Amino acid sequence: MDYGYIKVAALTPKIKVADCEYNADRIIELIDEAEDNKAKIAVFPELCITGYTCSDLFLQRVMLDAAIEATMKIANHTRCKDMVVMVGLPFAWQGKLYNVAVVINNGEILGIIPKANIPNYSEFYEARHFTKGESGVVLANFGGVSVPFGTNILFKCVDVEGLSIAVEICEDLWVPMPPSISHAMAGATLICNLSASDETTGKDVYRRDLIKGQSARLVCGYIYASAGEGESSTDLVFSGHNIIAENGSVLGESLRFNNQSVYSEVDLDRIDSERRRMSTFIGPSIAVLDEYVQVEFEINNNDTLLTRQIDKAPFVPSNEVLRFARCEEIFNIQALGLKKRLEHTSAKSAVIGISGGLDSTLALLVIKRAFDMLDIAPENIIAVTMPGFGTTDRTYQNAIKLIECIGATLKEISIAEAVLRHFDDIGHDKNVHDVTYENSQARQRTLLLMDIANKYNGLVIGTGDMSELALGWATYNGDHMSMYGVNVSVPKTLVRHLVKFYADTCGVEKLKNTLLDILDTPVSPELLPPKNGKISQKTEDFVGPYELHDFFLYYILRFGYRPKKVYFLAQNAFAGIYDDATILKWLKVFYRRFFSQQFKRSCLPDGPKVGSVAVSPRGDLRMPSDACSTLWQKELDEIG
């Protein structure tokens, strides 16, 4: 099953200028290579049949005829190959010469696309030879066959859902209004660019950014194949800079000056999902579609193998420099959100419960930054530690050290006596360690925090993170509730990195050591009695590993992927870490809890969005609290 992926290739043959037969043979070799690599779309450079640097030889009839013959040879070679191939050549039609891309599938010429923007500056003098392609589509004779000819052609695959291909040529991308804009508006999901971009110092960076930006702006896949070694070096050098991009990300990029083939898989599901959720993406209209001719083709995509890397921590940048910058940015977003709320309410203090765990630690660090922005002394942070039946000495000591390092005002209130009295009131046996036993403690803590906030004219700052909210791992009207939640859109895997970032940059040895020990402490609500003085209740033993749940959360909410695809991606990302049965077990748990616990997310306190995924009922996740998970669970049951 292809799971929405289509394997594509950008290929640069080593050519000989004006030797069409030689060049066709080199292209055929690369087509065979692409077939061996299971590529379904193979894109070659601009004018690769003749060479881009033929200059006035483009006006010679013998070479133009040889280019047609070479193209037909290539087309014949593609018979019974499950692939779409695009090659560039000069094409004479009705007394004019055009720089064109020919699209081939299973021995058939599907269409001819002329270059729409002909450069006539500096080192490029294409206007000396070529005529600008027009947007209308007509039929042209190519090797004795009548073929659609024009810029506005879409190639739609009847076998692969969401695969609609359009073509532009080199300079077309570099102009203010590239043809790919209207192509995407007409429904194209994959843009193929046959190019011959010469190499000058620093141009590769601009070229890469241009391709990334266009794929992001158009929410599409973009294949860029450029001319390389073999072109004339009379005045220019071509590096064969091939790039495959998808919605702003580079999936594959060649080494320059190497004629290197590049392969990757474009995720058509992702493109479709992004376009559906973007109300500003202008999709196909009758007026736009009327300007296009749609050509259908067939390929079998069932043998696609995934080679692109699937990051097991999608919320956390793998690059250390980028991760450092991201953490700093998120801290500022969280702190600025809280700063505004404190200013608006004229709050004199911030009240927070400190457990010695990760989430409350991060929230306290955010409060400290917000107070610094407001030039408020840290002693106006009322940090409350509330030991109960499950509190261990390790978390208790870390909470005290953390509060002291920050300079907050410490309040210690044991909840044990009040909770026992509450058990008597409601008739609960203190020896029965059930959900009542646990949640009574969480709600007692929230009651204390709320009343302390009233006493000190402050706001209770929530500590719960997005992963807990996705799973419903929060006590309703307990730790679920606050007056402003700074962590509500921060997943657990990212919480760890934010605390580590603060530890590495705080410059205070005692604070750093305390934060590192907190990072090393098992995640736990500490609502059940310890065993031998150590934490007995480990969250991940009950709900599953947060790294898996954050992975599921990202792909389910960000792209709306179906359960089978999420499972498939997790298998790839966590190969060698979790076996298939473990992944499936926790994926079923995620879906079950995600649907059943929506009522908690439906009444979340305010809090700042920091990334592309959030669960606020006022923004990213507007979901009925009583929606059925039947469809999703049924598909999971089909897996095993």
Q: Helices in 37-95 by DSSP H: which ranges?
A: 61-77
Alpha carbons 89 and 64: distance in angstroms, whole number:
8
Q: Which residue type sits at 36?
A: D
Alpha carbons 177 and 170: distance in angstroms, whole number:
13
Whether 46 is catalytic: yes
Phi, psi of 157 (to 5 degrees): -85, 130
Q: Are 229 and 259 in contact (CB under 8 A)?
A: yes
Q: Which residue type sits at 498?
A: L
Buried b (16+ CB within 10 A) or exposed e, 543-567: bbbbbbbbbbbbbbbbbebbbebbb
Closest CA to 299 of 186, 436, 160, 194: 160
Residues 421, 424, 426: CA angle, nearest 5 degrees: 115
For residue 9, give the DSSP letter. Answer: E
Conformational region of residue 503, where left means phi above 0, alpha means psi within -120 to 50, and beta covers everything else: alpha
What would the 3-class secondary structure string for 563-592 be? Answer: HHHHHHHHHHHCCCCCCHHHHHHHHHHHHH
Whether 170 is catalytic: yes
Conformational region of residue 535, where left means phi above 0, alpha means psi within -120 to 50, and beta covers everything else: beta
Phi, psi of 407 (to 5 degrees): 90, 20
DSSP calls for 97-162: EEEEEEEEETTEEEEEEE-S---EETTEEGGGT-PPPPSS-EEEEETTEEEEESS-EEEEESSSTT
Select which of 7, 40, 81, 115 is catalytic: 115
Collapse the DSSP code of 260 into the 3-class scheme (helix H, G, I; strand E, B; otherwise coil) and give the result.
coil
Alpha carbons 536 and 526: distance in angstroms, whole number:
8
Torsion from C-alpha of 329, 333, 335, 340, nearest 10 degrees: 150
Phi, psi of 527 (to 5 degrees): -110, -5
Closest CA to 85 of 107, 61, 67, 100: 107
**Maximal C-alpha separation, the chain:** 101
Q: Which residues contact 206 (CB under 8 A, 6 or more apart)?
A: none
Beta strands in 452-541 (DSSP E): 458-462, 484-485
Alpha carbons 345 and 481: distance in angstroms, whole number:
18
Q: Are 295 and 110 in contact (CB under 8 A)?
A: yes
Alpha carbons 338 and 116: distance in angstroms, whole number:
52
Q: Is 120 exposed, middle or buried (0-12, 13-18, 19+ CB in 10 A)?
A: exposed
Conformational region of residue 523, where left means phi above 0, alpha means psi within -120 to 50, and beta covers everything else: beta
Whether 231 is catalytic: no
Q: Are 565 and 511 in contact (CB under 8 A)?
A: no
Buried b (16+ CB within 10 A) or exposed e, 310-335: bebbbbbbeeeeebeebbeebbbbbb
Select which of 48, 157, 170, 220 is catalytic: 170
Select which of 46, 274, 438, 547 is catalytic: 46
Which residues form the catalytic set? 46, 115, 170
